[in-house]
Amino acid sequence: MYLELIDVLISGLTNGSVYALMAAGLTLVYGVSKAFNFAYGSFFSLGGYIAWMLMAVFGTAKGYFFVFILSVPLLLLIGYGVERIIVSPLRKRQDWEVKVMMVTLGLALLLDNSFQVVFGARMKSLPPIMEGALTINDVIVSYQDMAIFILSIASILCFRWMLNNTRLGMAARAVAQNPAGAQIVGIPQNIIFASTFAVSTAMVGVGGILLSQKYFISPADGWDILVKAWVITAFGGMGSIRGSLYAAFILGMLEACVGWLFGMSWILVANFAVLVTTLAIRPQGLFGKWG
């Protein structure tokens, strides 16, 4: 019982750290551009498939080094391109928020079906980033879980550093807080929208690479991730990165506990229960603000 509980906590922490990374990316885009990206989950699958292809090319021994070196710039480029080509032209139109939802929904369906055509419907798996486990007083922690946790936290710290210390980060914060004020001090709003979209694509793609080692990659995986990311974002407070980080770990733990106590099929139910309860009691989320 005690060892099982420890396992559950480790699983909750590991998943929570990856969810935190993915939810922070979604919060970034929503906070800066107020765009609701339905294709976010498909970028998770895209990250997994890119990693799978690179692993096939470079082999498992040195594969992950090249996976991260090559996939992050590629994901950034794809995210930037998608925003500039598909999302950006819609901003000048009336009700652009709804149009962005529809277009990204279409993109998600296109990507998911393309994955099925190109990679087939069968699930793909990635080898663990590290083999073996650490044993302390009968408690076994796999190096894979530790690596996923450390890489997720390192990515979140890089993201925080980027927000606080770079021109892009400062511009993103300014646009998120006051779009008109940001423009009149010389910040190119459209470039910031595209850049933050690119960063968020890379974040969820890296999440896909990390979680695809523990689970599998399949064409429709993204929908589950999209739901989780939005539940976390709403739970933490729309547009609040700090809120999304707290919410991700709480949800990660809750998922692990629910899966352990009631079975995996109850996890989605638990996610929605959290969302409904949050909206009923504190609609602005943990750290969200009105207005």
Partner 1 sequence: MLKLKNVTKKFGELIAVNNLSFQVEKGRIFGIAGPNGAGKSTVYNLITGMYSCLGRIEFEGHDITGAPPHKIARLGISRTFQIPHIFPSMSVEQSIGVGNRFGAGGRYEPGYVNNIISILNLETVRHQGAGELNLLGKKKLMMGAALATRPKILLLDEPMAGSNTTEIMALMELIRKINKDMGISIIIIEHFMKVLTELTDTLLIIEAGTEICCGDPEKVTSNPIVIETYLGEAYAQSNQS
Q: Name the site residues for partner 1 (rule: CB under 8 A).
A: 167, 170-171, 173-174, 177-178, 180-190
Closer to partner 1 by CB, 241 or 275: give it.
Answer: 241
State the minimum distance, in angstroms, from the CB of residue 287 to partner 1: 12
CB-side neighbour CA atoms (13 Å) of 260: 18
Q: Classify residue 254 as exposed, middle or buried by CB count within 10 Å of its CB (0-12, 13-18, 19+).
A: middle
Closer to partner 1 by CB, 95 or 138: give it.
Answer: 95
Could you give the 3-state DSSP secondary structure of residue 139? strand
Residues 6 or more apart from 166 whose CB is under 8 A from it? none
Closest CA to 79 of 156, 154, 17, 26: 26
* Extended beta strands in the chain, E state: 133-136, 139-142
Closer to partner 1 by CB, 188 or 283: give it.
Answer: 188
C-alpha to C-alpha distance for 195 and 201, rounded to whole angstroms? 10
Closer to partner 1 by CB, 61 or 185: give it.
Answer: 185
State the minimum distance, in angstroms, from the CB of residue 29 to partner 1: 18
Could you give the 3-state DSSP secondary structure of residue 140? strand
State the minimum distance, in angstroms, from the CB of residue 193 to partner 1: 12
State the minimum distance, in angstroms, from the CB of residue 181 to partner 1: 3
Closer to partner 1 by CB, 243 or 252: give it.
Answer: 243
β-pair type (133-136, 139-142): antiparallel
State the minimum distance, in angstroms, from the CB of residue 24 to partner 1: 16
Q: How far apart are the first and last CA of the chain?
A: 47
DSSP 83: I
Tokens of 47: 């990250």
- The radius of gyration of the chain's CA atoms, rounded to the nearest angstrom, is 19
∠ at Cα 271 (247, 102), nearest 5°?
95
State the minimum distance, in angstroms, from the CB of residue 235 to partner 1: 21
State the minimum distance, in angstroms, from the CB of residue 90 to partner 1: 17
Closer to partner 1 by CB, 186 or 263: give it.
Answer: 186
Closer to partner 1 by CB, 13 or 194: give it.
Answer: 194
